[in-house]
């Protein structure tokens, strides 16, 4: 039985594959027609990377024993006709587990030992150190072997209180949060810090990433999970148990880790799981449904959500129904309702964001390539005018024309030094922007924040320290934007002057919009502020924990700053590519003009023949322009899926 989410994701994957194919055709066509300058090539590369690496992450978050892993089995892995993720009674997923697909890595389960928490490197760096992970090879054609291997994510160790404290699972100042101590005085902690599962599941191959998180104690102990992975998920499914409703620990997870902005409400779904525990043979179906609706309304009110954002489900019955092809039980489980919400909320929003971003990239690419076509068209028009002016003229006039073109060429070659000087000034100003957005600036800020958090005692001023850091980061971005505006003004003036002196058609590329990275900083700060409440005050008092938190912050901020730098670099490349293209085309133009004069001097019929050639070239240029429009329009009008009509990425103005 197909499901709404799976079908929608299939369509999303088909759209991405079709886009990649058409982008490759456009790239080859641009190369064949010598339109692939460095700026166009960079835009093509970015579009291709964006489409190839686009991932949709769905994070499943819950306290222990809410049926989280069973829900993942029911939605994504029912096709195996058995449980794949461990979902037995009691605690199951003990460490954050990511399921995804990387074609360069064989099917395997990789496990990072919990002891890595004792070392300073952030999780992002550990991902690169593959030799530090325990690897278990997987047979994707053997569901039993898969299920057996996945049981490892539930493994635990028993350690002393001192070791549990060093690992972040024991807090002397918050005894109510501590795990149980067994008869031997040992504390149970997860054996693994993080798990990565790489399998060629159809949905994972298309870019879906599933994040299965552990319960509250483990979530709180891993800052990178809380401040990086969960906030960056495109959807979060928060699971409650229908028989208990919102417990105190559920509310702690919700308030400290999952409360988001109102405009992001579609990406937060709450699942009231295990409604089958309320199916009572002594009550009528109407009475049972009324009880479920009361629990739903109460949960929505406590969490501050509209009731439609809380979806009652039985994951276990939904899985059984799919395995046994039982349509009636599937309907009763209400799993299809959740899948529809996921497909409309998550996939609909993801497609909208990706299509908008892609549309902007294609528009810029079309403008860059169209500029080169325009230069060629203008040069041909000038040549035609020049040659028609020679009709009926004697050989001395033609000889004089040749001498004039040769002098123009000499003067133009001298102008190269002027253009080189323009580039030098431009690059000098750009270096100031690069410094403001560089890793040195970020490292300095992270070091200052670490020093502030290392002050002894409970960090009642931790929010203030964070606020000061983010205020300085925002000021730096604004400073970079101001410098960019100065460079843009200089470019506009210089290009205008070069256009007047040398007949160029240079146009300053669009200035980078660094304000949107300020908005990214706001989102990062909000995700950290949620983490800085009194509930984490005792953890923040531990220097090791504060260090981990700042390293997690640094990892996320580095992504923001790298994206901002990338935009500035593309802006620079676009300006430089225009100069290169116009210099190249102008040199070619001189060559063509001299060749035409030479042919005219050698044969009386050369003039008319050359004019006819240019007219045919003008026709070819018009056809090239039309083809560019056709290929880029083709990219922006790919159907969403199946045989659906094309849905434009950009509405015609």
| Residue corresponding to tokens 């928490």 | 117
One domain for residues 280 and 404:
no
What count of residues does the chain have?
A: 653
Whether 11 has a pLDDT exceeding 90, the answer reads: no
Structural contact between residues 458 and 540, judged by C-beta atoms closer than 8 angstroms: yes
The pLDDT score that the predictor gives to residue 1 is: 38
More confident residue, 290 or 282: 290
pLDDT at 645: 35
Q: Answer positive or negative: Cα dihedral of 328, 329, 332, 337.
A: negative
pLDDT of 385 above 90: no
475 shares its domain with 581:
yes
Question: With bands split at pLDDT 50, 70 and 90, how would you rate the model's confidence at 92?
Answer: low
Give the integer Cα–Cα distance in Å for 210 and 640. 23
Residue 232 resides in a domain = yes
| 15 in a structural domain | no
User: Is residue 13 a part of any domain in this protein?
Assistant: no
Instruction: Note whether 405 and 597 are within 8 A (CB).
Output: yes
Same domain, 440 and 560: yes
Same domain flag for 465 and 583: yes
3-state secondary structure at position 178: coil
- pLDDT confidence of residue 456: 66
Residue 302 in any domain: the answer is yes
Closest residue by Cα to residue 560 from 626, 506, 515: 515
Q: Which tens digits make up the pLDDT trace of 246-274?
A: 988 888 888 777 765 544 565 678 999 99
Structure tokens at 307: 């009731």
pLDDT band at 430 (very low <50, low <70, confident <90, very high): confident
User: Which stretches does DSSP call E strand in 252-339?
Assistant: 268-273, 310-312
Which of these three, 308, 333, 358, is where a domain ends? 333
Residue, of 364 and 620, whose pLDDT is higher: 620
206: Cα separation from own chain's centroid: 15
Distances (CA, A) of 312 to 8, 76, 89, 210, 213: 22, 18, 20, 21, 20
Neighbour tally for 414: CB within 10 Å: 8
User: How sure is the predictor about 348, in pLDDT bands with cuts at 50, 70 and 90?
Assistant: low
Question: Could you tell me if 425 and 323 lie in one domain?
Answer: no
**Domain for residue 324, yes or no?**
yes
Per DSSP, which regions of 367-486 are E strands?
none
Query: 473 lies in a domain?
Result: yes
Residue 649: pLDDT band by 50, 70, 90 thresholds?
very low
CATH of the domain at 102: 3.40.50.300
Q: Looking at 332-336, 393-397, 418-422, 645-649, which range is the least confident one? A: 645-649
> Quick one: tokens of 186?
């040992």
Q: Which domain holds residue 451?
A: 393-602
- pLDDT at residue 561 greater than cutoff 60: yes
Whether residue 590 sits in one domain with residue 493 = yes
What is the predicted pLDDT for the residue at 474? 92
Most confident of 160-169, 259-268, 416-425: 160-169
Those residues with Cβ within 8 angstroms of residue 408's Cβ, 6 or more apart along the chain or in another chain = 590
Cα-Cα-Cα-Cα dihedral of 490, 492, 493, 495, to 10°? 110
441 shares its domain with 296: no
The set of long-range contacts for 459-467, using a CB threshold of 8 Å and a minimum separation of 24, is 459/537, 459/540, 459/541, 459/546, 460/537, 462/532, 462/540, 463/529, 463/532, 466/525, 466/528, 466/529, 466/532, 467/525
pLDDT digits (tens, 9 = 90+) for 290-340: 999 999 999 999 988 888 889 999 999 999 999 999 999 999 999 988 888
Residue 450 lies in a domain: yes
- Asked if residue 302 and residue 215 are part of one domain, the reply reads yes
Kindly tell me the burial class for residue 410, based on how many C-beta atoms sit within 10 Å of its own C-beta (0-12, 13-18, 19 or more): exposed
* Top-confidence range, 255-269, 319-333, 412-426, 427-441: 319-333
Q: Kindly give, in sequence order, each residue whose CB lies less than 8 Å from that of residue 57, ignoring residues fewer than 6 positions away.
A: 208, 209, 210, 211, 229, 232, 233, 234, 235
Contact between residue 581 and residue 473 where contact means Cβ atoms under 8 Å apart = no
Report if residue 176 sits inside a domain: no
Cα separation, 138 vs 153, in Å, equals: 14
Average predicted confidence (pLDDT) for the chain: 81
What pLDDT is stored for residue 200 in this prediction?
82
How many CB atoms are closer than 10 A to CB 135? 15
Q: How confident is the model at residue 137 (pLDDT cuts 50, 70, 90)?
A: very high
Same domain, yes or no: 123 and 245:
yes
Do 286 and 403 belong to one domain? no
Two tokens, residue 92: 């199951």
């Amino acid at each position: 039985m197909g499901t709404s989410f799976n079908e929608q994701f299939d369509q999303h994957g088909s759209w991405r594959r079709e886009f990649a194919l058409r982008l490759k055709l456009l790239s080859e066509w641009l190369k064949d027609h010598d339109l692939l300058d460095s700026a166009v090539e960079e835009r093509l590369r970015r579009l291709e990377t964006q489409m190839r690496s686009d991932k949709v992450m769905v994070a499943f978050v819950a306290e222990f024993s809410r049926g989280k892993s069973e829900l993942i089995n029911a939605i994504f892995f029912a096709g195996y006709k058995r449980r794949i993720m461990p979902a037995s009674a009691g605690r199951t997923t003990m460490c954050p587990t990511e399921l995804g697909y990387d074609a360069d890595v064989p099917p395997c389960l990789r496990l990072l030992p919990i002891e890595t928490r004792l070392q300073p490197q952030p999780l992002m760096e550990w991902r690169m150190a593959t030799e530090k992970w325990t690897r278990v090879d997987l047979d994707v054609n053997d569901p039993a072997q898969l299920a057996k291997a996945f049981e490892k994510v539930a493994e635990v160790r028993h350690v002393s209180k001192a070791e549990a404290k060093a690992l972040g699972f024991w807090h002397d100042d918050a005894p109510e949060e501590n795990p149980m101590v067994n008869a031997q005085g040992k504390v149970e902690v997860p054996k693994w810090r993080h798990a990565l599962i790489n399998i060629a599941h159809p949905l994972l191959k298309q870019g879906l990433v599933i994040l299965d998180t552990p319960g509250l104690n483990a979530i709180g102990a891993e800052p990178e999970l809380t401040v990086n992975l969960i906030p960056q998920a495109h959807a979060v499914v928060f699971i409650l148990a229908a028989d208990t409703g919102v417990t105190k620990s559920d509310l702690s997870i919700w308030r400290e880790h999952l409360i988001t902005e109102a405009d992001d409400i579609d990406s937060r779904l709450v699942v009231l799981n295990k409604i089958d525990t309320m199916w009572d043979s002594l009550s009528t179906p109407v009475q049972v449904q009324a009880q479920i609706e009361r629990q739903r309304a109460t949960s929505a009110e406590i969490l501050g959500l509209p009731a439609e954002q809380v979806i009652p489900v039985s994951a276990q019955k939904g899985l059984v129904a799919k395995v046994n092809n039982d349509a009636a039980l599937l309907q009763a489980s209400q799993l299809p309702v959740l899948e529809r919400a996921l497909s409309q909320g998550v996939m609909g929003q993801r497609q909208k964001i990706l299509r908008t971003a892609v549309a902007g990239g294609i528009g810029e690419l079309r403008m860059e390539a169209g500029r080169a076509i325009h230069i060629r068209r203008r040069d041909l028009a000038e040549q035609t005018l020049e040659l028609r002016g020679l009709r009926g003229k004697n050989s001395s006039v033609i000889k004089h024309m040749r001498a004039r073109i040769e002098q123009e060429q000499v003067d133009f070659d001298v102008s190269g030094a002027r253009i080189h000087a323009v580039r030098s000034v431009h690059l000098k100003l750009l270096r100031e922007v690069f410094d403001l957005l560089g890793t040195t600036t970020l490292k300095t800020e992270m070091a200052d924040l670490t020093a502030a958090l290392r002050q002894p005692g409970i960090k009642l001023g931790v929010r203030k320290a964070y606020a000061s850091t983010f205020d300085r980061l925002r000021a730096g971005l604004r400073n970079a934007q101001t410098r960019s505006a100065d460079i843009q003004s200089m470019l506009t003036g210089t290009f205008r002057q070069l256009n007047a002196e040398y007949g160029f058609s240079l146009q300053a590329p669009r200035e980078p919009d660094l304000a949107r990275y300020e908005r990214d900083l706001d989102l990062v700060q909000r995700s950290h502020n949620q983490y800085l409440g009194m509930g984490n005050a005792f953890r923040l008092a531990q220097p090791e924990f504060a260090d981990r938190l700042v390293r997690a912050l640094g990892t996320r901020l580095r992504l923001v700053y790298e994206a901002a730098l990338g935009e500035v670099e593309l802006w620079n490349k676009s300006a430089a590519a225009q100069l290169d293209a116009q210099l190249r085309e102008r040199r070619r133009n001189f060559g063509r003009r001299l060749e035409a004069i030479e042919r005219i001097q050698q044969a009386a019929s050369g003039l008319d023949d050359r004019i006819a050639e240019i007219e045919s070239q003008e026709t070819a240029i018009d056809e090239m322009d039309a083809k560019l429009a056709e290929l880029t329009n083709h990219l922006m009008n790919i159907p969403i899926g199946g045989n659906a009509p094309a849905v434009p990425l950009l509405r015609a103005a």
